[in-house]
Structure 1
Amino acid sequence: MATQGISKIVLAYSGGLDTSAIIPWLKENYGDCEVIAFVADIGQEREDLVGVEEKALRSGASACYIADLREEFIKDYVYPVLKTGALYEGTYLLGTSMARPLIAKAQVELALKLGADALCHGATGKGNDQVRFETTYTALAPQLKVVAPWREWDLRSREALLDYLKVRDIPTTASLEKIYSRDANAWHISTEGGVLESPWNASNQDCWVWTNSPEDAPNESELVTVGVENGEVVAVNGKKMSPFACLEALNVLGAKTRCGPY
């Protein structure tokens, strides 16, 4: 663990279990460094942002910055990917993949503005998110150090993280009963953990956050008109709106009729 030369770290913060534990861990293991929480608003559930600044400060952050990236995300990231027809394994619409470079870019911009000397993310050491974050960091600010706690600490389970926060009297809404890990933005929400760890299991209704169950979906069809210009949605049911507002409206319509789950 190379801690020398690190005094101010900007953390990509969500307010979830992992990043809530990362703040005190950084302060304990990096010489009581200053930790600044950066939150990217990319259209996730509004409840995820309620109280997130207070939560970051109570966890030990010196400040919390929230950046509204919703329109930029749809216009400059989602639409270009859609126009290529890119899919992973023929079905996955790359919702997480599209968002990470934007989050990392905005995080770098804040770090440079504040004179930070390191960047931190909460991606695990076994997935692609660590690569998405760190390639963006390297491309935009190779002089900044990168801290990846999941590759350094000995907290290897949800139980360990909960115990870590409990000992330090840091509140969290996570629990052993709330077993799912989710990633959400305006384009998608992905869910993992619990019964989903085995492909043999059917998903429970509590896996779904946005959509109705088939039993609760309406029996009647609904006609939706989508206005498109240059391959981008500009209106829904005749009402012109911004890229994010259009997608938000379509998400509501689709969720009601059980469109989307896979």
Structure 2
Amino acid sequence: MADNKIKKVVLAYSGGLDTSIIIPWLKENYDNCEVIAVSGDVGQGTELDGLEEKAIKTGASKLYIEDLNKEFVDEYIIPTVKAGAVYEGKYLLGTSFARPIIAKRLVEIAKAEGADAICHGCTGKGNDQVRFELAIKAYAPDMKIIAPWRTWEFKSREDEIEYAEKHNIPLKINRETNYSKDKNLWHLSHEGLDLENPANEPMYNKEGFLELGVSPEQAPDKAEYVTLTFEKGVPTKLNGEAIDSVELIKELNKIGGRNGVGITDIVENRLVGMKARGVYETPGGTILYAAHAKLEEICLDKDTLHYKQNVANAFAELVYDGKWYTPLREALSAFVDSTQEYVTGDVKLKLYKGNIIDAGVTSPYSLYDEEIATFDEDQVYDQNDSAGFINLFGLPIKVRAKKGLIK
């Protein structure tokens, strides 16, 4: 297995189970190569605490911790929200759009360090291997990629834990709490253990399972209102106060979390062909999506809104499949941006025990005309016009009927 040409490897490092054992494994299998660990900070919070000491102790020569939060929100999250992209109607793409930005930074550091290869700890069954490697190919097409899960001797997370214990590698998990989790500013995912059987109800009320909020049953009995202001599709204010985009997500996570909002249980179709069950916590993101969609209801004309819904599905699949750095994703983003020119206004939502209830929407560019829509008397709509419209609109049906073609 050893490749003597590989002297220096840049590792995508989280400090979790996989990447913790990869450092000594790389040194054992690649002739004691230098391992440079890189952690992209996209909002993992306390998961980054003590990471440098741990990386060095397990054999890394150094650790980069790169603050990517602002870029993550402005260049990846917000464009996806503006697109209204939701994978399979439920998944708000929390892991999906975090991988490309991390991989891009990996390449930048690998080039600066003169590394021979980039390594990641993604499994051969997952989507993340594709997302990382497509991004690496986009920015370093000739860079060698090492993916230990495809070649090493371990067959399960149990095997990994045993290896870690033999090599005195400290872990924050144990065999009983060994959910596979991914956390960032936008969401927290849970996979594995009892969740692998779709018949099992997730243990939402078990202490320590949910981390970003509480279950709807544990949420307050009183509703909480939240108002979001958008300018050209971009959220700019929370409850009337201007707020930085990163802080907005953090604050919405707190608000949504305490009200039991944004918990999703999905059996999704992975890119690699299998179905996988996961539970996602996305409290702030769920609020943001709901508010943006509500504003579009009054700001977008019918044709644009309906076509944009098709684009949203295509956008979601591109992001899910790791195709962020592609011409089509860029083209779809350009289309989305053009639709957001007049998506400006305020949206009020009521949060209550996991529910998001519309509580009012206003915009200076609203296409809703109360004088036209009213059931009361008006001076702008001649109801007699509808007869001719229906005759023309229904003409194809009438012709088929006269030909005896209606079954």
The TM-score bracket by the shorter chain reads over 0.9
CA-CA distance at 1:207 after TM superposition: 3.1
| Rounded Cα–Cα distance in structure 2 between residues aligned with 1:63 and 1:253 | 38
CA-CA distance at 1:124 after TM superposition: 0.4
Contact between 2:219 and 2:258, CA under 8 Å: does it hold in 1?
Answer: yes
| Rounded Cα–Cα distance in structure 1 between residues aligned with 2:128 and 2:169 | 26
| Rounded Cα–Cα distance in structure 1 between residues aligned with 2:80 and 2:25 | 36
Report the AA paired with residue 78 of structure 1. Answer: I
**Map 1:10-49 → 2, pairs under 5 A:** 10-44=10-44, 46-49=45-48
Report the AA paired with residue 131 of structure 1. Answer: V
Report the AA paired with residue 154 of structure 2. Answer: L
CA-CA distance at 1:214 after TM superposition: 2.6
| Rounded Cα–Cα distance in structure 1 between residues aligned with 2:153 and 2:165 | 16
Match of 1:221 among 204, 220, 223: 223
CA-CA distance at 1:179 after TM superposition: 2.0
Aligned to 1:98: 97
Report the AA paired with residue 23 of structure 1. Answer: I
Report the AA paired with residue 98 of structure 1. Answer: F
Aligned to 1:7: 7
Contact between 1:22 and 1:122, CA under 8 Å: does it hold in 2?
Answer: yes
Report the AA paired with residue 20 of structure 1. Answer: S
Matched, 1:184 2:183: yes
CA-CA distance at 1:208 after TM superposition: 1.6
In the TM superposition, what whole-angstrom CA distance separates every residue of 1:66-108 from its partner, at most 9, and x where no partner exists?
Answer: 0000110010001112222222111111111111100100111
Report the AA paired with residue 210 of structure 2. Answer: W
CA-CA distance at 1:159 after TM superposition: 1.6
Flag as ranges the 4+ runs of structure 1 deviating above 6 A.
none
Contact between 1:71 and 1:242, CA under 8 Å: does it hold in 2?
Answer: no
**Map 1:1-262 → 2, pairs under 5 A:** 1=1, 3-44=3-44, 46-205=45-204, 206-262=208-264
| Rounded Cα–Cα distance in structure 2 between residues aligned with 1:66 and 1:3 | 28
CA-CA distance at 1:2 after TM superposition: 5.7
Aligned to 2:280: none
| Rounded Cα–Cα distance in structure 2 between residues aligned with 1:83 and 1:184 | 22
In the TM superposition, what whole-angstrom CA distance separates every residue of 1:42-67 from its partner, at most 9, and x where no partner exists?
Answer: 012x2201111111111111100000
Contact between 2:6 and 2:117, CA under 8 Å: does it hold in 1?
Answer: yes
| Rounded Cα–Cα distance in structure 1 between residues aligned with 2:183 and 2:170 | 22
Report the AA paired with residue 63 of structure 1. Answer: K
Report the AA paired with residue 240 of structure 1. Answer: A
Contact between 2:103 and 2:136, CA under 8 Å: does it hold in 1?
Answer: yes
TM-score of the aligned structures, taking structure 2 as reference length: 0.63
Structure 2 residues without counterparts, runs of 5 or longer = 265-407
CA-CA distance at 1:165 after TM superposition: 1.3
| DSSP-derived class of the 1:215 partner | helix
| DSSP-derived class of the 2:141 partner | coil
| DSSP-derived class of the 2:217 partner | coil
> 1:251–1:237: structure 2 CA closer, same or farther, 3 Å change rule?
same
CA-CA distance at 1:153 after TM superposition: 0.3
Q: Which moved more, 1:22-31 or 1:222-231?
A: 222-231
In the TM superposition, what whole-angstrom CA distance separates every residue of 1:112-135 from its partner, at most 9, and x where no partner exists?
Answer: 111111100111011221111111
- Who wins on radius of gyration, i.e. which is larger? 2
| Rounded Cα–Cα distance in structure 2 between residues aligned with 1:36 and 1:234 | 38
Contact between 1:40 and 1:68, CA under 8 Å: does it hold in 2?
Answer: yes
| Rounded Cα–Cα distance in structure 2 between residues aligned with 1:43 and 1:171 | 22
User: Over aligned residue pairs, what C-alpha RMSD do you find?
Assistant: 1.2
| DSSP-derived class of the 1:97 partner | coil
| Rounded Cα–Cα distance in structure 1 between residues aligned with 2:156 and 2:181 | 16
Report the AA paired with residue 16 of structure 2. Answer: G
Report the AA paired with residue 242 of structure 1. Answer: D
Give the paired residue count. 261
TM-score of the aligned structures, taking structure 1 as reference length: 0.96
| DSSP-derived class of the 1:224 partner | strand
